[in-house]
Amino acid sequence: MPQIHFQIEWPDGIRETCYSPSLVIKNYFTANQSYPLDDFVSRARTALMIASERVKAKYGVPCRLALGQLERIEHQALQYQETSTLKPEVKILQFIE
């Protein structure tokens, strides 16, 4: 199963490299594009859950790495939702295959 990493930039400029066990993430994001924080989290949730289910279909168990990545994204996003009065955005910098 092809895996992929995608680099993001949080609203405060911090960059992070994220993981997906499936290329499905590319169906939900475009490189060099920004997404409102809530939209980013929603798209990431959908894509990483699909990716985890694909791993489950192939190997019989969900992908712990994909679920862990989703947990990390959701946790980090909460910090920006609680501290920002502006409309925070997350930028997809690039895909690393």
Give the domain ranges of the chain: 4-96
pLDDT confidence band for 84 (50 / 70 / 90): low
| pLDDT bracket for residue 89 (50, 70, 90) | very high
* E strand residue ranges, 1-97: 4-9, 15-20, 33-36, 89-96
pLDDT of residue 82: 73
Indicate the average pLDDT of the chain: 95
The two tokens of residue 23 are 């290329």
Region 88-95 average pLDDT:
97
**Contact of 65 with 12, CB cutoff 8 Å:** no
